[in-house]
Amino acid sequence: MNITRDVVQDLLTVYLSGEATADTRALVEEWLRTDADLARQVDEARRGDLPPVTLPAPSVEQQALSRTKRGLRWRAITLGVAIYVSTLPLTVTFNRHGFQGLMIQDWWERILLLAIAAGLWVAYFRMSRRLRRSGW
């Protein structure tokens, strides 16, 4: 089998990361003794200072999780209240005098409740869209 410079360059990432087997290390080191340009590149790669990787603190992840839980809880509460307020104006009874509201008597109260319900539905769908964008 003929080993070319391209094969050795492909092996350099494994060699530089320290994950190469003993045979691969020996092969790359033997090649580097004969190829000064490639040996210089390997030396530069070893000396190159990579920026330190900063992992987010566990508190950041915990805060994101608690914000998501809080958002889901408020979305569920908003849905329940929106359903209740939406159906409240429809609670009527029929008798010999016509129909009467069980809980709400006047039409202006019904219209006000429907307006509140519309606002709750808008809030619910905004919360759903925001949570969907964040992956939930």
**For residues 133 and 136, what is the distance between their CA atoms, to the nearest angstrom?**
7
**For residues 43 and 28, what is the distance between their CA atoms, to the nearest angstrom?**
13
pLDDT of residue 53: 63
* Distances from the Cα of 125 to the Cα of 15, 57, 85, 131, angstroms: 53, 32, 16, 10
Mean pLDDT for the chain? Answer: 83
Q: What is the pLDDT of residues 72-81, one digit of tens each?
A: 999 999 999 9
How confident is the model over 113-134, as a mean pLDDT? Answer: 91
Q: What is the pLDDT of residues 47-57, one digit of tens each?
A: 776 566 676 67
> Which run of H or of E encompasses 80?
helix 58-87
Using the predicted structure, report yes or no on whether residue 103 has a pLDDT greater than 70.
no
